Structure 1
Amino acid sequence: MSSQPIVPFSEPPYLAGLPSPYYKPTHLKWQQACREFLQKNLLENALEWDTEETVPEHVFETFARAGMLLPSLPAPLPVEWLKRLGIHDILGVVKVEEFDYIHTMIYTDEMARSGLAGPSGSLTTGMSFGVPPILKYGSKQLQERFLPELLTGKKRTCIAITEPAAGSDVANIATTATKTPDGKYYIVNGTKKWITNGIWSSYASMAVRTGGPGPSGLSMLVVPLRGYPGVSMRRLKVGGQVSAGTTFIELDDVKVPVENLIGHEGMGMKYIMTNFNHERLTIAIGATRQARVALASAMEYILKREAFGKPLVEQPVVRHRLAKCGALLESQWAWVEQFVYQMTKLPKEIADVELGGLTAMAKAQAGIVLNECAQCAMLLFGGNGYTRSGQGELIERIYREAPGVRIPGGSEDVMLDLGVRQLVKNFKAKTKAMERTKGSSKL
């Protein structure tokens, strides 16, 4: 909680001195420890590293040693595995068994305080989205082979779903995995595109087609990447998040042991969809902080910038722009907080059903809010906000990153449609269950 006056919109209400029902002492202590660690080891140089388009390798190593990649995993953390690996707490302030989704939210929010998604994404995307399928669905032998190195950051992984012709349309994944006649290997052929962290990854949790067309033909494999025969990778130049290592992967007769199958053949669609919930929620949290950084920067700017003989803040049209975006921002953050609180109270299997569609909507809405706040900031910064250097450099960068929230992780239009379809599906299922109950009572 700040003891000094802060720029409006620059912090979530709970850090701006306002009461909140969500945060316990453990959460507030964690927030302070997070901010101190991240400010020193990431945020001070984030803009510089993003300009250079690569975060130095030593930063990943520092995070791995401190256990500061682990908070990007879905909560609760894999306590049994972490304790086996000698990890009992994070930063000495929160025990791994006490870590909940509010801790996750605080970490994700603090990681995005640079206003940029690339630097934090370069560190956490593989841990956050590539490791969970192995944790949740992998066999014991698969976990024993890969988790010790992945959880400690000795090796890196990524999630590899998207292809040139199949992004949000996951059911039409075309990369094939065909068993050899002796049944010992899968031969993988195809391409993956826009794979974050891929270029640095030793492995990928990859969506492949082991069966016929449609969702029932999909499976997931742990596919070796760096230096592995038949795998070629190159970085892609994208409009934003330029330091996150977006990668194009070509797979030419890649020989993968059948023991690398995650779970069961034909269950890939289910695994992918439940994995998306965590991805979309963390995108929503980070994007909301990016929107906050943009709007707070604009507020700070208009308090000192003069035009037509007076500070910009004295222009009603300027205040009107800020008010509209501020209302969007704080409404979105309130939804995120409420959402995460619900995650801490619902069993995982119920949360996946009840919150799955809403997660998609929250992710889509975060992109809309980020776009509005970044555009507002750019307009108020004027020419400075349209310049890739100087005092508006960060605003120009954030505005360029808005599509990186609205498209990856499920594109905006698909997410909005999915959200409503899921709500309707749940409603129909509950209605049918009630009808069955009423019918049975008459027998």
Structure 2
Amino acid sequence: MSQLAANPIPFSEPPYLCGLPSPYYTPAHRRFQTACRQFMWDNLLSHALEYERAGEVPAWVYDTFCQHHMLLPNLGAPLPVDWLKRLGIHEILGVKVEDWDYLYSGIYFDELSRSGLAGVGASLNAGFSFGIPPILNHASPAFQERFLPDLLTGRKRCCIAITEPAAGSDVANITTTATKTADGQHYLLNGTKKWITNGIWSHYATMAVRTGGPGPAGLSVVLVPLQDHRGVSMRRLRVSGQRTGGTTYIELDAVRVPVGNLIGREGDGMRMIMTNFNHERVSIAVGVTRQARVALSSAFQYCLKREAFGKTLMDQPVVRHRLAQAGAELETLGAFVEQLLYQLCHLPKDEADRKLGGISALAKAKAGMVLNECAQCAVLLFGGAGFTQSGQGELAEAILRDVPGARIPGGSEDVLLDLSVRQLVKLYRAEERKLKQSKI
């Protein structure tokens, strides 16, 4: 795993790492990929399965990633260059921060997921991927001065807290309230947040709350102190996959938060949340594609050596058929995701949010479906070993348990499939109106 194999197992690597030509990746991208793979192996992935069994990644791993600025790639592209240079951060594994693009981000998310286990990466990156971007994109300069130096360097950790027991993908119906005190200086927060990745380790949560009436217009986003803050209680949740992700249940009982912790304006929360989802969904799609590669290629390798009925599994036509079906889905997904990353490199952010929001939702939904196909294929081909949490099929079994974590968070699959088409219809009608107006 630490080095790229001279002859990789089929389906184990994207085509550009199998010696095939690609229009996307420059020599600089390839140098970063090599350095990133080695860093991930040395500092995380060589012990990923061991950490997953234990249910937690050691704290020193997070510190090491922060010391080498290796959580900053989770912010997406472009990076906040001015802020990073103010903090003395000029490059990431040899890549100048001003040169960072979404293809570098894609390489990073791909390599972070190369163990096949989503939880080990999720244990580190939720704050940088989803909690910090709303502050960078919507908070006032004064707000940023207060919080970004500690958050961007990892001295303080944060998470994103949107989901509630009765409001997951239905963001507009969030019920956690933030009511101003009589003097107007603080919000009092009451409610619950559930399935919050990294919450248990976080100092802050970038939290969706209701400051106004019902529906999306009543939502705002507030940075809420968590650890040892009065009225906040947290406990870890046991989930079927991503055991190292620190999934957390947060209860808020008259939690006092300064009004200065409001990100952006009151009532603007829905827009912030929905645009923030675009980056989240792209990052999930990339990582999930790699998980699918790990699952399918591990089964492929097993079938080359495992014998049954007097010949290897690979000599059985039915086995080859299963591998081919899953492999076709996987390579189609890989091409889709690479194309999306390239488009993100060449569109301004506001245009990308508008034109690619639906496509990003579709990519994330498709990735979950493909992971399910590849993970089920792997477990079936491993047979009894794929049903066992040890031995040759342990990784395939663990990846199959991770599948719901790909299909539900970031917007559940059916919601995203519907959203993608609604967004495409909206874009089509907007262009149709422009064409009609141009003919008048």
Fold shared per TM-score above 0.5: yes
1:23 equivalent among 16, 19, 25: 25
Q: Deviations over 1:195-223 (max 9, x none)?
A: 00000000010000000000000000000
Cα distance per residue 1:175-205 (max 9 Å; x no partner): 0001111111111110000000000000010
User: What is aligned with 1:51?
Assistant: 53
**2:427 counterpart letter in structure 1:** N
In structure 2, stretches of 5+ residues that fail to align are none
- The offset of 1:3, in angstroms, is 6.8
Residue 42 of structure 1: aligned partner: 44
- Could you list the per-position Cα deviations for residues 389-422 of structure 1 after superposition, in whole angstroms to 9, with x for gaps in the alignment? 1111000000010011001110000000000000
Deviation at 1:434, TM superposition (A): 2.0
Aligned letter for 1:366?
Answer: A
Letter in 2 for 1:103: Y
Partner AA of 2:331 in structure 1: E
Partner AA of 2:16 in structure 1: Y
Q: Report the secondary structure of 1:391's partner residue.
A: coil
Task: State how far apart, in whole Å, the 2-side matches of 1:334 and 1:62 are.
Answer: 33
Aligned residue number for residue 240 of structure 2: 239
Where does residue 432 of structure 1 map in the other structure?
433
Q: Secondary structure at the match of 1:390?
A: coil
Matched with 1:151 is 152
Asked if the contact 1:384–1:393 (Cα under 8 Å) also holds between the matched residues in 2, the reply is: yes
* 1:210 matched to 2:211: yes
Amino acid at match of 1:304: K
- Contact 1:2 1:16 survives alignment (8 Å): no
TM-superposition CA deviations, 1:62-115 (whole Å, max 9, x none): 000000000111211000000000000012x10000010000000000000000
Corresponding residue of 1:412 = 413
What is the identity, as a one-letter code, of the residue corresponding to 2:421? V
Q: Who is 2:86 aligned against? A: 84
> Counterpart of 1:256?
257
Cα displacement (A) at 1:34: 0.2
> 1 CA distance for matches of 2:173 and 2:439?
40
Q: Which runs of 4+ in 1 moved over 4 A?
A: none
Per-residue CA deviation, residues 144-180 of structure 1 (Å, 9 max, x unaligned), is: 1110000000010000000000000000000000111
Return the offset for 1:435. Answer: 1.9
Shift of 1:332: 0.2
Aligned residue number for residue 378 of structure 2: 377
> Aligned to 2:405, what secondary structure does the other structure show?
helix
- Partner residue of 1:5 out of 4, 7, 18: 7
Give the letter for the 1:166 counterpart: A
Query: Secondary structure in 2 aligned to 1:178?
Result: strand
Gaps of 5+ in 1: none
Q: For residue 165 of structure 2, give the secondary structure of its aligned residue in structure 1.
A: coil
Question: Post-superposition shift, 1:433?
Answer: 2.1
Structure 2: how far apart are the matches of 1:268 and 1:410?
Answer: 17
Corresponding residue of 1:358: 359
State how far apart, in whole Å, the 1-side matches of 2:390 and 2:91 are: 41
User: Which TM-score applies when normalising by structure 1?
Assistant: 0.98
Let me know the Cα RMSD of the aligned residues.
0.8
Aligned equivalent of 1:60? 62
| 1:228 partnered with 2:229 | yes
Structure 1 residue 126 displacement after superposition? 1.1
Mapped to 2, the partners of 1:137 and 1:373 lie a distance apart of 39
1:2 CA displacement: 5.2
Q: Please name the residue that 1:128 is paired with.
A: 129
> Which amino acid letter does the alignment assign opposite residue 146 of structure 1?
F
Q: Which amino acid aligns with 1:75?
A: A
Label 1:318 to 1:3 Cα distance change in 2 as closer, same or farther (>3 A): closer
TM-score, structure 2 normalization = 0.99
Report the Cα distance in structure 2 between the residues aligned to 1:422 and 1:266, rounded to whole angstroms. 22
1:330 alignment partner AA: E
The match for 2:109 is 108
Query: Hey, what's the Cα distance between the residues in 2 that align with 1:2 and 1:97?
Result: 28
Which residue of the partner structure matches residue 75 of structure 1? 77
